[in-house]
Structures are given as C-alpha cells and as structure tokens.
Amino acid sequence: MKVAMIGHKVVPSRRGGIENVLTTLCPILVEKGIDVTCYNRSSDKVENEYVGTVINKNYKGVKLKKAFTLNFRGVAAMIASFTAALSAAFSRYDVVHFHAEGPCAALWIPKMFGKKCVATVHGLDWQREKWGKGFASKYIKFGEKILAKHADEVIVLSKAAYDYFKDTYNRETVIINNGINPPIFKEAQIITEKFGLKKNEYISVVSRLTAEKGIHYLIDAYLKLKTNKKLVIAGDTSDTDAYVNLLKEKAKDNPNIIFTGFISGDTLNELYSNAYLNVLPSDLEGMSLCLLESLAYKNVLLCSDIPENTSVAEDKAVYFKKGNVDDLKDKLQELCDDEALVEKLRDGVDEFILNKYSWQDVADKTIRLYQNVCKKQQ
C-alpha cells in the first residue's frame, strides 16, 4: 500500500506537533509494510539534529519529496498543500493522508482523481489566536468544511474533537490518539553549560510560543511566586514574533526566567530529565505531545483543565482553571513549597502514560483505517 503525507512543514523534524508525529509514526508504518512518502515544503530545511539521518531523499525508509512553495507567512502552507495535492493526484498512491485543517482545503484535488483521502485533525486550528479573524482563519475553517464533507475517513485525537465534528457537521470520525516513546534520561550537562540549569532547580514549559499555549499566564503567575526555582521556556516563534516580544517584555526584569529558543535532541532530553515540574498552561490543544513526554519522563505536570488535557492525563496530573493566573500561581506555590508532594506525584506516572499511549498501537490502528478506506467503493 502506498500512502502520501501532506500538510506538515518538513520530516524529520521536532519543530511542531505534526512534524513530531510524522517523524515518529512514518518509519513505524514503513516497518509494518506501508510505502510512505512525505511531501516536505520546499522552503523548510531539516534541522541539524536530523541531517545525517536523511540519505538520498529517504528517512528511515520514508521517501521525501519537495512540495513547491514560497516562504511567506500565511501562504507557505497553502501553496505547499496545493502543489503536493496536485502531485499526489497524478501519482500512484492508494491513500493521500492530509494533516491539519488548512491543508485539507486542497483535499478535493486528489479526491477528484479517484484517490482515497484521509484527514487527521490535530486541533481546531482556525481557533488559534495567531490567525486572528481574517482570511487565514476563514481559509482554515474552509479546509475543515472540505474535510468534513469529502474525506473518506477523518481521524481526531480526542473525544472533544469527536463531539465537535458530530455536533457541527454530523460527521463520524475515528479517535486515534498520539503515542509516546520510552524516554532517554540524561544528566544535566548541556543545559548546565548553556543555561546554568541543575536538577530540580527549575520549572519548565516546552511549547511553541503562540498565544493559545498560555505562556503569558505562566509568566504572570511565576512573577508572583516566592521561589528560588528558575522558569525555563523552551520553544520558538511560530509566525508569532509580536507575541514572543510580549513574553520577553513581561520577563525582562527577572533574570530567573530563561528563554532557550527551540531545542531538541540531547538538550531536550536533559531538560525533561532534570525538571522539578513541567507546566502546560494551554487554552487550546489537540493532543499535546509535551504532555505525554512530561509524564513519560516521570515529571509532575501542572496543566490547564481543558478536556484535551484531562482526558489524557486523567488523575496523573495537577490541574488549574484555564486562564486563571491566580489559580495557576497557587498551584505552583504549593508544588514549589512541598518537595515531598512532588516526589509522591511522580510515582507511577511514567508507567501509566507509556502503557496507555503506544506508537505501535497508533500505527496498527492507522493501517487498519487505511485498509478499510481502500475497501470502500468510490
């Protein structure tokens, strides 16, 4: 079976949730007998961490093709999804698998040429604040309508998203959660040299720096804390320079707030391995890989009480009221003041999350979905 993946920036990569998912999932699909091609945007390059893993346009058996685009904010994804969709329409793929709502605006093209089309909704992207209420948001919502009407199958990551599509479009969807790999524990070396961080001496958040991720709540809460622990914000802009500038303006008078920029590889492993606790203050999520990673590393996780978080972490995380800075501050203070409680909360969270969310299971469910789609009459 031949499958084309469309909608991401570049594979392999950790720069976004979709990229992270495909970088992990696609090689497993290949191991299980699926011929996978990922259409990478022509404007994006593989990160240094992965350069040596790409040989002859191939990553761990996954074929890599370029989808022509122009490197301009707001149009790069749109152009790439259409050029990739056109290429896939004239190629011999059994399934064309679109990722994210915006790229699904081009789903009708391979569909028109008789291809079986699957769409994965990683989140309700039109709600993201960075797109505002203008053309970008409307275009993404258009992609949502296209996938709801024309996709042979729609994959969602949560019960909340399942309910949304049922209520809004009377569209049945299939829930296939993300998975998590066993963690690679590392002693603090790189993070000590680069950022002065030592084990259990910092609170961390790993996230794209976009408004819906709620980093501004975390900074506001941290500035009210009485603690010697540093706050480490690991992540980079995602077409959100104004928001990142706002965050840095909030933090400018506190030397204990550290922005690391985008990190991956051993640096990220060290950050997770040595954190006192992790925070996920999002207003909006699909299914957070950072949530899964935090618990896999046996970290205490403090996160917003949105359904996309509570349904995944269940009773293995500590929750604060979404958008409530005072509640976030109070929970942070309690955890900073009570190291015995933090150690108690760590117990068993790694086994829980690793047993519940497996990439092998995700791959098996995805393949069964492909098989069922191919059996359907056009």
Predicted confidence (pLDDT) per residue in 298-343, tens digit: 999 999 999 889 989 999 999 999 999 999 999 999 999 999 999 9
Separation of alpha carbons 159 and 43, rounded Å = 35
Lowest-pLDDT range of 19-33, 68-82, 183-197, 346-360: 68-82
Residue 130 has pLDDT above 70, yes or no: no
Is the model's pLDDT at 38 over the cut of 90?
yes
Q: What is the mean pLDDT of residues 281-285?
A: 90
Question: What percent of the chain clears pLDDT 90, i.e. is strictly above it?
Answer: 77
Number of H helices, E strands in the chain: 15, 14
289, 350 Cβ separation under 8 angstroms: no
Q: What is the CA radius of gyration of the chain?
A: 21
Under 8 Å between Cβ of 129 and 167: no
Would you say residue 288 has pLDDT above 90? no
φ, ψ dihedrals at 278, nearest 5°:
-110, 150
Q: Is the pLDDT of residue 49 over 80?
A: no
**Over 90: is that where the pLDDT of 194 sits?**
yes
Pair type for strands 58-59 and 2-6 = unpaired
Total-model pTM? 0.83
pLDDT band at 294 (very low <50, low <70, confident <90, very high): very high
Contact between 358 and 181 under an 8 Å Cβ cutoff? The reply is no
* pLDDT confidence of residue 97: 98
- For residue 124, what pLDDT is reported? 73
DSSP character for 358?
-
What three-state secondary structure class fits 316? helix
Report the chain's mean pLDDT, rounded to a whole number. Answer: 92
**Interacting residues of 222 by C-beta distance below 8 A, sequence separation 6+:** 203, 231, 254, 257, 329, 332
What is the predicted pLDDT for the residue at 127?
Answer: 57
| Calpha distance 196→233 (Å, rounded) | 14
Amino acid at 134: G
Average pLDDT over residues 43-52: 76
**With the CA atoms of 30, 35, 37 and 38 taken in that order, what torsion angle do they form, in degrees rounded to the nearest 10?**
-30
Output the pLDDT for position 132.
55
What number is the average pLDDT over the span 85-108? 96
374: nearest Cα among 29, 176, 115, 121: 115
**pLDDT above 80: residue 39:** yes
Report how far apart the first and last C-alpha atoms of the chain are (Å, whole number).
Answer: 17
Residue 115 has pLDDT above 80, yes or no: yes
Phi-psi region of 269 (alpha: psi -120 to 50; beta: other; left: phi over 0): alpha
Residue 116 contacts residue 376 (beta carbons within 8 Å): yes
- The pLDDT value recorded for residue 125 is 59
Other beta carbons less than 10 A from residue 184's beta carbon: 13
The residues that bridge with 62 in the sheet, in sequence order, are: 59
Q: Which two tokens stand for residue 63?
A: 């074929």
- Give the tokens for residue 149: 């009407």
| pLDDT tens digits for range 199-243 | 999 999 999 898 989 999 999 999 999 999 999 999 888 777 889
